[in-house]
Amino acid sequence: MAKKLLDIMRDKIRFKHYSMSTERVYIYWAKKYILYHNKKHPKYMGKVEIEQFLTHLATEFNVSPTTQNQAFNAILFLYEQVLNISLKDENIQALRAKERKHIPVVLTINEVRSIILNMTGIYQLIVKLMYGCGLRMKESQNIRIKDIDFGYDKIYIWDSKSLKDRTLPLPLKIKDELKIQVEKVKEIHQKDLENGYGSVYIPYALERKFPWSGTESTLAKSKI
């Protein structure tokens, strides 16, 4: 039962073009929710069972508020998008994990410079790119060669956390470093292909439409 339902949920997530990380997280929490209630089908459960599960996460597993909200969002998706059961008017009240308020720490320019100068190689280049473009770590890791336009000095970010593509100015100070990295990666990539490696995951049906796209060059080994 659970496997079939989770497969349907996975298909729905992919239909909505959610990221692979979101898919893994949502499937994980939906499965945990079902197993917690002894594999009872979610359509026979509701507000009470959801509150029990969320309270269990907060009191027995001591999860963070972010993790608890993540589990709640996964369950909401399961009910509303997969089972077509609305929870809008249920007023779900679970014992919520207490959220701690942190004062943000902002580094000075000299502190950032010191961090960068104490790094080397590809790691230094990644940090420079993150700092220069305001990228999330995963966004910088997912950049491929085709995403960098050296002619117009732009970087293209696809399938970000907000599900919105965007264009960013390429930091000119690291333009030459990126070009050098591209040449290094091409050499590594060619060797990987010769050894039967060097492919990357291609989402949706693109792998069937473009069978060689998974082996085209990326920035650092397979990604930067």
Kindly report the CATH number assigned to the domain that includes residue 136: 1.10.443.10
Kindly report the CATH number assigned to the domain that includes residue 32: 1.10.150.130
**H-type helices in the chain, by residue range?**
2-15, 20-36, 47-59, 65-77, 109-117, 121-133, 137-141, 175-194, 206-209
More confident of the two residues 85 and 189: 85
Same domain for 122 and 68 = no
Same domain for 192 and 115 = yes
More confident of the two residues 116 and 220: 116
**What is the pLDDT, as a whole number, of residue 97?**
65
**What is the pLDDT, as a whole number, of residue 195?**
82
Q: Structural domain tally of the chain? A: 2
Range of the domain at 153: 109-215
Same domain for 160 and 119 = yes
What's the average model confidence in pLDDT over 140-167? 85
More confident of the two residues 7 and 17: 7
Same domain for 122 and 78 = no
Query: Is 192 in a helix, a strand, or coil?
Result: helix
pLDDT value at 219 more than 60: no
Percent of the chain, pLDDT > 70? Answer: 82
pTM of the model: 0.63
Q: Take residue 155 and report the two structure tokens written for it.
A: 């970087």
**What is the pLDDT, as a whole number, of residue 1?**
47
Same domain for 119 and 208 = yes
- The residues facing 156 across adjacent strands are 167
What's the average model confidence in pLDDT over 104-130? 92
What's the average model confidence in pLDDT over 195-206? 69
